[in-house]
Amino acid sequence: GIPAEPLFRSKQWYQRRVAVGTFFFFLARIVIFDLFSGLLTYPSASKIREVVKHLPLERLLVETDAPFMRPKNAAVVDADSPKISSPGMRLLVAVKLAEVKKIEIDNVLIQIRKNVSKMYDI
Q: What is the pLDDT of residue 14?
A: 52
Q: What is the pLDDT of residue 100?
A: 95
Residue 96 vs residues 27, 41, 113, 122: alpha-carbon distances, Å: 27, 6, 16, 26
Distance CA 118, CA 95 (A): 21
Residue whose C-alpha is closest to residue 48's, from 9, 70, 68, 22? 22
Q: Give me the pLDDT at residue 27, please.
A: 43
Weakly modelled stretches of the chain, pLDDT under 50: 1-5, 7-8, 18-30
3-state secondary structure of 45: coil
Please give the model's pTM, rounded to 2 decimal places. Answer: 0.69
Confidence (pLDDT) at 103: 97
